[in-house]
Amino acid sequence: EGVDCSHVRRVSGARSALASILVDAHGERIIVPFYDTRAQADPEALPFPDITAFDAVLADVRWPGAAALALNAARVAGRPAILDADIAPLAVLEQLLPLASHIVASEPAVRI
């Protein structure tokens, strides 16, 4: 499909993330995710691509260290640094919100 997966990494002993999405008869949905913390290695130890090849960066709150790294790189490169500010611990939001040039959030996340 033309998707560049060259920066996808595998972590020995870690399980892939997955999510169950339940939708009721009215179209309301709930997402129940699973993330293996073993897959969230120190992001500073990972190879990082030249971000200037991209028009923007979109990060979310699930791996705060990697999100901070990507958002900072986008700002330095003069690219939009977009944060999907989903429901997360306050400390994570306080860390990531100032790094974003643009913030998007679901209605439930905004209410919290």
Task: Give CA–CA dist 92/28, Å, rounded.
Answer: 27
Q: Residue 71: which domain range?
A: 42-111
pTM: 0.74
Q: How many domains does the chain have?
A: 1
26-77 confidence digits (pLDDT tens)? 999 888 988 888 887 777 766 677 888 889 999 999 889 889 999 999 999 9
Q: Is the dihedral of CA 65, 68, 73, 79 positive or negative?
A: positive
Q: Is residue 32 part of a domain?
A: no
pLDDT at position 112 is: 65
pLDDT at 98: 97
The confidence band for 21, taking pLDDT boundaries of 50, 70 and 90, is very high
Q: Is 68 helix (H, G, I), strand (E, B) or coil?
A: helix
Q: Is residue 69 in some structural domain?
A: yes
